[in-house]
């Protein structure tokens, strides 16, 4: 559908700045390793590496040292402690986060300074830090893509409208806005995969809630319709593909079998909608949204209707 755009890395500085509101990292020593790159969403608890077992040490990940690690280092005689941190910090670590306001032994700070590694401190517990940082890193490293289409929140259902250029995606979105629904993005939809099976759509920073209407030009939906007409992001629940009506093509008439489309490995329900003059696509789009809500609740009108019909036809005296 379109090319995948991945962010290959963030720097330690990005982590520090962007996670500030979640974990409030404090710099213990210096910004020495602020330029180092983080390429993975995983975090690593230094743990056993401190005891000298570094065979499977995932040193390239952000290192977390909690009560266990700092407690362990404090039990070691100074020389052994120095040995231990020298071994671990001899790797190209991006940075070390010390949790629970633990005070690092001076050997750790000294070796970190020598090797240019930033030490952070946070009052939060290890579990909490891992949780918040994972959430942030998940978003950063999540699979992303850009799709040509419009995303509208219709009765709370995130509806991605696709179709070839000039088929009327923006016009449908505009019509839906006029009827009280909310625009998320027009023309360019940035899609991020959340976890394994949710796709969230958002507008691009520059375009935001602007829209191009052929023959008129660029309009500002927020200014024109007000704050209630827009939405920052929305999880996509259904894809509506607008198509030029063709005599040759056969369209869905029953709806017992659902169609799906795959985006970033996530399967989404798909409705292919033929465009015909005089057909009220906007009302149909609203009905699609409502039908999807019913289906999400396990109610499939077509399937239930069919089950009743089959039962009735098999009843007595029906031949």
Partner 1 sequence: MIKKTFRIGNQHGIHARPAGQLVKIASRFKSSIYISKNGNEVNAKSIMGVLMLEAGYGSEVVVRVDGEDEFSAVEALQHLIEVEKFNEE
Residues designated catalytic: 148, 169, 187, 253
Binding track over 217-256 against partner 1, x by CB under 8 A:
---------------------------------x--xx-x
Torsion on CA atoms 179, 184, 186, 189, rounded to nearest 10: -150
Please say which residue, 254 or 297, places its beta carbon nearer to partner 1. 254
CB of 298 to partner 1, least distance (A): 18
CB of 307 to partner 1, least distance (A): 9
Helices marked H in 12-101 = 12-18, 20-23, 67-75, 78-89
CB of 276 to partner 1, least distance (A): 15
CB of 48 to partner 1, least distance (A): 60
Binding track over 275-314 against partner 1, x by CB under 8 A:
---------------------------x--xx--xx-xxx
Please say which residue, 166 or 253, places its beta carbon nearer to partner 1. 253
Binding track over 97-136 against partner 1, x by CB under 8 A:
----------------------------------------
Q: What are the tokens at 146?
A: 């850009």
| Rounded Cα–Cα distance for residues 2 and 149 (Å) | 11
Place of tokens 């360019």: 188
Is the CB of residue 191 less than 8 Å from the CB of residue 147? yes
Please say which residue, 297 or 310, places its beta carbon nearer to partner 1. 310
CB of 16 to partner 1, least distance (A): 59
Number of residues that bind partner 1 (CB under 8 A): 15
DSSP 8-state class, residue 30: -
Backbone torsions φ then ψ of 176, nearest 5 degrees: -65, -40
DSSP 8-state class, residue 104: P
For the beta sheet containing 198-202, the strands, ordered from the edge strand earlier in sequence to the opposite edge, are 144-148, 188-194, 198-202, 234-235
Q: What are the tokens at 267?
A: 């399967």
Please say which residue, 53 or 305, places its beta carbon nearer to partner 1. 305
Secondary structure element (H or E) that encloses residue 284, with its range: helix 281-296
Burial label, 120 (beta-carbon count in 10 A; 0-12, 13-18, 19+):
buried
Q: Which of 166, 218, 246, 319 binds partner 1 (CB under 8 A)?
A: 319
Please say which residue, 168 or 255, places its beta carbon nearer to partner 1. 255
What angle, 0 to 180 degrees and rounded to 10, lies between the N-to-C axes of helices 106-115 and 78-89? Answer: 30
Provide the binding-site residues for partner 1, judged by CB under 8 A: 250, 253-254, 256-257, 302, 305-306, 309-310, 312-314, 318-319
């Amino acid at each position: 559908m379109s090319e995948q755009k991945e962010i290959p890395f963030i720097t330690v500085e990005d982590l520090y700045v962007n996670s500030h509101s979640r974990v409030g990292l404090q710099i213990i020593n210096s910004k020495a390793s602020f330029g180092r790159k983080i390429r993975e969403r995983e975090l690593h608890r230094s743990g056993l590496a401190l005891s000298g077992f570094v065979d499977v040490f995932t040193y390239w990940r952000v290192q977390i040292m909690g009560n266990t690690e700092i407690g362990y280092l404090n039990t070691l005689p100074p020389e052994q402690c120095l040995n231990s941190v020298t071994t671990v910090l001899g790797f190209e670590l991006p940075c070390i986060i010390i949790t629970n306001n633990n005070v690092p032994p001076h050997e750790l700070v000294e070796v970190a300074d020598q090797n240019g590694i930033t030490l952070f401190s946070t009052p939060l517990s290890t579990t909490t830090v891992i949780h918040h940082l994972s959430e942030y890193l998940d978003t950063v490293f999540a699979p992303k893509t850009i799709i040509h289409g419009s995303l509208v929140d219709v009765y709370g259902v995130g509806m991605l409208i696709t179709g070839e250029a000039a088929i009327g995606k923006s016009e449908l979105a505009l019509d839906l806005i006029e009827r009280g629904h909310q625009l998320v993005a027009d023309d360019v939809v940035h899609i991020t995969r959340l976890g394994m099976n949710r796709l969230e759509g958002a507008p691009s920073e520059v375009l935001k809630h602007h829209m191009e209407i052929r023959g008129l030009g660029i309009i500002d939906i927020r200014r024109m319709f007000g704050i209630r007409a827009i939405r920052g992001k929305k999880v996509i629940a259904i894809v509506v593909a607008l198509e030029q009506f063709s005599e040759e093509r056969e369209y869905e008439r029953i709806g017992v079998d659902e169609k799906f489309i795959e985006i970033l490995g996530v399967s989404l329900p798909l409705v292919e909608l033929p465009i015909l003059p005089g057909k009220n696509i906007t009302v149909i789009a609203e009905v699609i949204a409502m039908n999807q809500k019913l289906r999400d609740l396990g109610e499939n009108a077509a399937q239930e209707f069919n089950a009743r019909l089959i039962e009735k036809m098999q009843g007595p005296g029906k031949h």
